[in-house]
Amino acid sequence: MITVEGLKKIVELCKTVPEEFRQKCFELLLQHSLQATEPTNKLVPPPTDDQTHQTPPIKHKQFRLPMDVKAFLSQYGIEDSLLWKLFLIEGTEIRPIYNLKTTKKAKAQISLALLMALQNAISTGQFQVDIEELRKQCGEHKCYDSPNFMKNLKLNEKFFKEVSSDKPLILSPDGKSDLADLLEEMKS
């Protein structure tokens, strides 16, 4: 059963979608939330032939995607199974297991920001990333360009609601669209 609060979240989320897609977005989100009690909403990879003949695994706390992430995946036609290819999710812990394909530091930095925002959204429901954490991860992925780090973010500010060194980077609609494109590229 959907709550008034859940319905308000759906309406607010639909307001972020371009006008021509709002009605369809609302219908999809409402339908998805009305089916929320069915086990198909749990983020569990489909069993392989080998797994169907094994003993049942130990039950862990089932992970549920936040509504905003479900809406994002639905809006861009992305299967939630792709998340299992990019992130290791167990209980409440989420770890990236993807490899960035680009060799250009500026592009890798933006790709990493988008993927980190997705990782944060999976755990908190908010598509945002802390700038200092992004800086640290860029260093670990060998794409940190110290003199151009903030300049690169400002050049790509259309992907974020605001670029400021003391605030988290929150994805804009353009940022979510680019994230969807990036996920499509990483799918193959």
pLDDT in tens, the chain (188 residues): 677 787 788 888 888 877 777 788 777 787 777 765 444 444 555 555 555 444 444 333 467 889 999 999 999 999 988 998 999 988 788 999 998 888 899 999 999 999 999 999 999 999 999 999 999 999 999 999 999 999 999 999 999 999 988 899 999 999 999 999 999 999 86
CB-based contacts of 100-105 (< 8 A; 24+ apart in sequence): 100/141, 100/143, 101/185, 101/186, 105/143, 105/144, 105/145, 105/148
Is residue 111, in this structure, part of any structural domain at all? yes
Is residue 58, in this structure, part of any structural domain at all? no
Task: State the total domains in the chain.
Answer: 1
Is residue 167, in this structure, part of any structural domain at all? yes
CATH number at residue 182: 1.10.10
pLDDT for 174 equals 96
pLDDT for 6 equals 79
**The domain containing residue 166 runs over which residues?**
81-188
pLDDT for 73 equals 95
Is residue 32, in this structure, part of any structural domain at all? no
Instruction: Look up residue 26 and give its amino acid.
Output: F
pLDDT for 156 equals 95
Q: Dig out the tokens for 183 from the structure.
A: 């996920």
Q: How far is the C-alpha of 156 from the C-alpha of 83, rounded, in Å?
A: 25
Q: How far is the C-alpha of 14 from the C-alpha of 7, rounded, in Å?
A: 11
Is residue 92, in this structure, part of any structural domain at all? yes
Q: How far is the C-alpha of 170 from the C-alpha of 113, rounded, in Å?
A: 10
Tell me the pairing of strands 87-90 and 128-129: unpaired
Is residue 116, in this structure, part of any structural domain at all? yes
Is residue 2, in this structure, part of any structural domain at all? no
Is residue 88, in this structure, part of any structural domain at all? yes
pTM equals 0.67
pLDDT for 46 equals 54
What 8-state DSSP symbol labels residue 36? T
pLDDT for 11 equals 83
Q: Pinpoint the alpha helices (H) of the chain.
A: 4-14, 19-34, 49-52, 67-75, 81-86, 105-124, 131-140, 149-155, 173-187
pLDDT for 108 equals 94
